[in-house]
């Protein structure tokens, strides 16, 4: 029986994904019809971007699952018309890209590269950084991305502490959880990396109280979600020297408005939401595997817990 798959995303995504997704579905042995338009009542699966035109799932009466193209699902989990399973995107390319970006900026701050790259003014700045083993790093968020980043930084020699809402065990990583564990994790965080999801519970995780727990002069790296940080509290902490620098890839409003003080602050690096991106080839393989699993009545990969929000 042919499986009807609707690709619900922007037109540029369709042109990017049509070939690799068709190949992945073929390689998975699926008899499929993949289109960017279908009669809703004929659709079995939706490959979905939350900014697509599909917002009401009620007409999709035979829908089996929605397979998100993005890692973030905060813009869809609250949709009351979506009653079928929702899978978020966790693909090898996205994970590798995030790990590379996080490792690169962690090393940048650890080695003090900004002073040497930007300070070409004739001053001999011989500031010797400590070894990685003497630079504690904390990661907030121990999902697939957080765990991969933690392992990579640990391999480089950094003592890594990871914090999550619920208990996690990761070889070679100090793990903590819960409110008390968060405060303990912040106290040693000379470099803090934010990889939490965007949920009501994670809003303003970094605020005046939590920022004050960190070592003076600590660095913050945020490739997670803009909502994790109270912007005004961060600016105040930067101005006071409590926080030494913030490298921010995500923001509450994107693109970041030209008038936002982050652009001009000397202790802030802005990058345009490039820490990681879903790669069409590897993402298509995950989607095809989930369609195969759905048709075989096997559990889907990376299912979203709607109550938790991720």
Q: 148 φ, ψ to 5°? A: -65, -40
108 close to 114: Cβ distance less than 8 angstroms: yes
Q: What's the gap between Cα 136 and its chain centre?
A: 22
Distance CA 265, CA 268 (A): 5
Neighbour count for residue 106 (Cβ, 10 Å) = 25
* 256 to 229, 237, 250, 295: CA distances (angstroms): 14, 20, 9, 42
- Whether 265 sits among the annotated catalytic residues: the reply is no
The token pair that represents 95 in the structure block: 């994970």
Distance CA 273, CA 277 (A): 9
Distance CA 201, CA 223 (A): 18
Name the active-site residue from 105, 225, 245, 302: 225
The token pair that represents 109 in the structure block: 């701050």
142 close to 162: Cβ distance less than 8 angstroms: yes
- Whether 225 sits among the annotated catalytic residues: the reply is yes
Distance CA 93, CA 247 (A): 22
Max CA pair span of the chain: 72
Distance CA 126, CA 29 (A): 60
Name the active-site residue from 273, 279, 293, 306: 273
Neighbour count for residue 142 (Cβ, 10 Å) = 25
Distance CA 77, CA 64 (A): 16
* 208 to 138, 212, 232: CA distances (angstroms): 18, 6, 9
Q: Which residues are catalytic?
A: 225, 273
């Amino acid at each position: 029986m042919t499986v009807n798959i609707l690709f619900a995303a922007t037109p540029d995504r369709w042109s990017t994904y049509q070939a690799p997704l068709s190949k992945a579905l073929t390689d998975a042995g699926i008899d499929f019809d993949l289109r960017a338009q279908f009669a809703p009542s004929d659709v079995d699966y939706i490959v979905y971007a939350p900014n697509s035109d599909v917002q009401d799932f009620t007409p999709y009466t035979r829908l089996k699952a929605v397979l998100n193209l993005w890692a973030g699902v905060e813009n869809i989990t609250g949709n009351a018309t979506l009653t079928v399973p929702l899978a978020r995107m966790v693909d090898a390319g996205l994970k590798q890209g995030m790990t590379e970006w996080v490792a690169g900026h962690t090393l940048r701050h650890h080695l003090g590269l900004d002073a040497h790259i930007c300070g070409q003014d004739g001053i001999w700045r011989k500031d010797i950084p400590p070894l990685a083993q003497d630079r504690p790093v904390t990661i907030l968020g121990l999902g697939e991305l957080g765990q991969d980043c933690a392992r990579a930084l640990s391999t480089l020699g950094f003592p890594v502490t990871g914090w999550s809402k619920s208990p996690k065990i990761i070889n070679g990583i100090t793990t903590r959880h819960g409110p008390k564990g968060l405060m303990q994790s912040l106290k040693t965080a000379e470099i803090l990396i934010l990889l939490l999801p965007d949920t009501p519970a994670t809003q303003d995780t970094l605020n005046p109280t939590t920022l004050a727990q960190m070592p003076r002069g600590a660095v913050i790296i945020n490739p997670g979600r803009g909502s994790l940080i109270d912007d005004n509290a961060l600016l105040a902490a930067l101005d006071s020297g409590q926080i030494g620098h913030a490298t921010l890839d995500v923001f509450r409003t994107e693109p970041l408005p030209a008038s936002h003080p982050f652009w001009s602050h000397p202790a802030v690096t802005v990058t345009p939401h490039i820490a990681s991106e879903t790669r069409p080839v590897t993402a298509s393989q995950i989607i095809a595997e989930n369609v195969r699993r759905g048709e075989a009545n096997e559990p889907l990969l990376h299912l979203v817990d709607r109550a938790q929000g991720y």
